[in-house]
Amino acid sequence: MLFWSGSGAMGQGLSGTDSPVRLSEAYELANIILALTDYGKTDPWEVSQQSAYYREVRTHFDAFTNHPLLASVNYSRKEWEKYLSFRTDAYAFAFDSTGRLVRQFPLMTNKGVNPFEEHVAQVEAFARVSGFRQFYRAHLPYYQNLATAYLASQHYPEMRQFLETELGKQTAAGTYAIVMSPLVGRMNCHRTNGGVGTDFITLPGFLLSGKAVQEATPAEIASGTHMLFTELDHAFVNPLTEQYRSLVQTGFDNRLWDAGSGYERDSLATFNEYMTWAVYDLFVARYFPSVPSTVCTDWTLQNETRGFWASALFTQKLTSLYRQRKAGQTLRDIYPVFIKQLGKLQQTLRKPAIKACNLADQTVSDTTATVMITFSEPMHRLSAPDVVRVAEHQGTTTQERIMLTRKANELTWLQNGRAVRFRIQLAGGAVNHLLFNYPWKTSVPLRSRQGIDLPPYSRVKITVRSTLQAHR
């Protein structure tokens, strides 16, 4: 594996190792700056806030939140390209001997968006006044230990072996880097810098919480590999898809598969996103055969929230074809067959939805409710589906996951799976939301007979009067 030392052109490698993980002083500075903005502090996902390190960042730097730079880079979800570019483009910079940030190599994360370089003078000023460089040096052992633990948790050699065997060698050995910061909460990305495939990743929650790799469960490890895997495998999936460009363009219509992910503007990008996440399920089945299926279910539902609404079906079809492959065949061999299957399938794609509910948007007096839901499509008749009840009362919110059963809830499927009826306890004096296919909480998703999940966070709203109101 290619190794760079120092904090210059391609970041800092782990001393004395051939680790692909890179530490970058400028990248960490950019992430600290974004974490201090109003958006960085209030968005629940953008900045990872669960670590002791995050609290140390806030303790040290909160005194400098009135610096004019922070108002200039206070982005939002709608400005995600600026946020991602400011963060990621910083990796191309390093401090010189005079304390100036100097570009080391070309890198533009999003074409035409260049916020880090535009604000570089203010970034330098912030670093000076806040004592950032001293803070960074003091925390360098933490970054190095975290990078070592991260690589140990990722099954990186197995990842590469799996991808090279199944999809073919697409990148030369020694031209790969992983860039990390404990503050990155979302938006992994893959870019090529000077011929080096580079993944800017998020870290697994168990590492950020301080748990040692040896203490993590197999499910935590398997789930924690997802972010690296689905970035790394772009270097294998994308070139292979390119070989079948005309077949994909003929058999995979972005307008039918994509519900506004942002990738649909590229003729191959939507397909590649579906594929990279589906291949992850094959990897988990190979290397983590004992982990619960919920590990893959969680990520499938998460992908569906991104606009890839038929992820469950896409992955199921790929998995089925892969399991039926002939001896000696690899994923690469079945690639064109799979694309043709999708072409035959896509004209029948239908997104299931809650069509009606007897208590939707109703106000009731009794906390025990009989709910009747009708779906737009026949659904798999699960014997124990779960629902997350979210209750809002006087400014507070509570959540409870409830498994619906025939015995406890009189669960009954009707109309050949097009309708379901059940009894459920609601919170009194509160607005109750019954949420289905809730990512990271649902164990078995509601899914149509065709194999497509009910959209994540599908909900029914029921208001229950307070006891006082009910007796007036």
Residue 194: what pLDDT? 75
For the chain, the structural domain boundaries read 21-180, 233-348, 354-470
Q: Would you state the pLDDT for residue 5?
A: 30
- Smallest Cα–Cα separation from 238: which of 274, 262, 287, 280? 274
- Tell me the average pLDDT across 280-306: 95
| Token pair in block for residue 262 | 């942002």
Q: What is the pLDDT of residue 15?
A: 45
pLDDT for position 12 = 52
**Pick from 131, 105, 113, 98: nearest CA to 29:** 131
- At residue 11, the pLDDT reads 53
Instruction: Determine the distance from the C-alpha atom of residue 154 to the mean position of all C-alpha atoms in its chain, rounded to a whole number.
Output: 16
Residue 102, pLDDT above cutoff 90: yes
Q: Does domain 354-470 have CATH number 1.10.760?
A: no
What is the C-alpha separation between 192 and 107, in angstroms, rounded? 8
The pLDDT, as a whole number, for residue 133 is: 97
- pLDDT > 60? residue 171: no
What are the CA-CA distances from residue 231 to residues 19, 142, 235, 258, 332 (Å)? 17, 24, 8, 19, 18
pLDDT for position 256: 95
Contact 276, 159 (CB under 8 A): no
Span 70-89, average pLDDT? 95
Residue 95: pLDDT band with limits 50, 70, 90 = very high
